Structure 1
Amino acid sequence: MSLSILQGFSKSLAMTVLSEIGDKTFFAAAILAMRYPRRYVLAGCLSALIVMTILSAVVGWAAPNLISRTLTKHIATVLFLGFGFWSLWDAFHEGESGELAEVEAELDADLKANGKSTKSNDKSDDEAKKKTRPFMSQIFSPIFLKAFSITFFGEWGDKSQIATIGLAAAENPLGVVLGGILGQALCQTAAVFGGKSLAKQISEKFIALSGGALFIVFGIQSFFATVES
């Protein structure tokens, strides 16, 4: 493949870091790590994001084989420019969104709901519940599955997922996967071990401005790139 792995890797790494820092899944990982063992939270969140990155890259890799490369290039260009201006709009018109508080409230509501259902059952039901638990929850820790599901479904259809698809269609998919995984690992590790204090220090406006500028640069590069037959 003529596309550079290093170029796809560097673009994917930069895009992932700027997209995921301050994102809802970042805040969710930070809050979950304050309530549950960090190793399970990190494993669950990172596993979900790795799966999502690979799936997105596969879709992006398959796109040029399903439609013409010229059309794929135009779609990628529109995606990058669209996300770039979207991020800039959010930065200037919404400012600090308070997403940390929103995610914390959602997790608190979920925790209270689970707490009430737990208290309604006595100890005599515990063994029966263990035997009738779903197969996956008998293999993996419930905390791992909780972190995985929250992160996976929170990331599904997110701007960063669609951007990864567009990047994999325009760049070397292997480089995109490797850069995306490293970027996700850095962000999730920072969220889990940095905790809530780190999340509060993040300027969502600055991240949105940086990410928007990066997407616009990618869009310009994609627009002027030559299409190989």
Structure 2
Amino acid sequence: MSFSVAQGFTKSLAMTVLSEIGDKTFFAAAILAMRHPRRLVLSGCLTALIVMTILSVLVGWAAPNLMSRKWTHHITTLLFFGFGLWSLWDGFNEEGEAQELAEVEAKLDADWKPNGGMNKEGSKDDDELKKQRRPILTQLFSPIFLKAFSITFFGEWGDKSQLATIGLAADENPFGVVLGGIIGQALCTTAAVLGGKSLASQISERIVALSGGVLFIVFGIQSFLSTAEP
């Protein structure tokens, strides 16, 4: 593994793990796994995160072709500093403690209750009718898989970790960033599905946010001191 690939891999892995633990998609995966088969939730969430990581890296990789490498380097440096300050602010803000978990639970409960109060009588007939009326996509994939995929994909869209991945891919080796991002997402999603809610209650959200903020600041300083490759 070349140095550039290893550097991109290390940065992407560390950034992904510290960004995703305690994130909304982390809690969503944990809550969905309590109500649905874990393998479907894990495959749906992980597929969405892998697709999102690859798309983000492709955007970051293409950015230097749309503008000069010098400008993408400066923008990436500013992103790292900006995300670092953002994470530090979240870490020092006490009101944010466990707020994301409450928001995700409320949102999923609102979606869950209308579908959970069905009577068992005639449920088999209703299920058969529903299967016949399903769109082609839901006939090919499990509805639970699609639900986990859509919640995770759209929850990550425009998120801090996605934008950071784009910036990282614009300044580091894209292959290393993809590899580190996917492994980091796999670790976090698996932990969330196997016991994310209890794990999140034992890990200090403030420490995770502060650690992520420090990491982004370190990346920003390193990017500022380095020169953009031509």
Asked if TM exceeds 0.5, the reply is yes
Q: Contact 1:91–1:204 at 8 Å: present in 2 too?
A: yes
Name the structure 2 match of 1:19: 19
SS of the aligned residue for 2:97 comes to coil
Counterparts in 2 of 1:88-103, with a 5 A limit?
88-94=88-94, 95-103=96-104
Gaps of 5+ in 1: none
Q: What does residue 225 of structure 2 align with? A: 224
Secondary structure, counterpart of 1:4 in structure 2: helix
Q: String of CA shifts for 1:189-218, please: whole Å, max 9, x gaps.
A: 111112421121121110110000000111
Question: 1:172 aligned to 2:177?
Answer: no
Q: Note the C-alpha offset of 1:98.
A: 2.5
Q: What is the TM-score with the length of structure 2 in the denominator?
A: 0.93
Deviation of 1:97 (Å): 3.9
In structure 2, C-alpha distance between the alignment counterparts of 1:49 and 1:91, rounded to whole Å: 24
Q: Give the match's secondary structure for 2:22.
A: coil
Is residue 26–residue 196 contact of structure 2 (8 Å, CA) maintained in 1?
A: no
% of aligned pairs identical? 76
Q: Could you give the per-residue CA deviations for residues 119-149 of structure 1, whole angstroms, max 9, x where no partner exists?
A: 6x95444333212211111111111111001
The AA in structure 1 aligned to 2:30 is A
Question: 1:114 deviation in Å?
Answer: 2.6
Q: Structure 1: which amino acid aligns with 2:44? A: G
Contact 2:61–2:174 (CA<8 Å) still a contact in 1? yes
Structure 2, unmatched stretches of 5+, are none
- Kindly report the root-mean-square deviation, in angstroms, between the aligned alpha carbons of the 2 structures: 1.8
Which amino acid counterpart does residue 198 of structure 1 have in structure 2? L
Q: Distance in 2 between matches of 1:188 and 1:151?
A: 10
Runs of 4+ in 1 over 3 A off after TM superposition: 121-126
Separation (CA, whole Å) in 2 of partners of 1:92 and 1:192? 28
Structure 2 CA distance for aligned equivalents of residues 20 and 167 of structure 1:
16
Contact 1:3-1:172 within 8 A present in 2 as well: no
Aligned equivalents of 2:162 and 2:122: distance in 1? 42
| Distance in 2 between residues matched to 1:228 and 1:102, nearest whole Å | 43
Q: How many residues align?
A: 227
Distance in structure 1 (CA, Å) of the matches to 2:192 and 2:145: 16
CA distance in structure 2 between the aligned counterparts of 1:65 and 1:140, rounded to whole angstroms: 37
Q: TM-score, normalised by structure 1?
A: 0.94
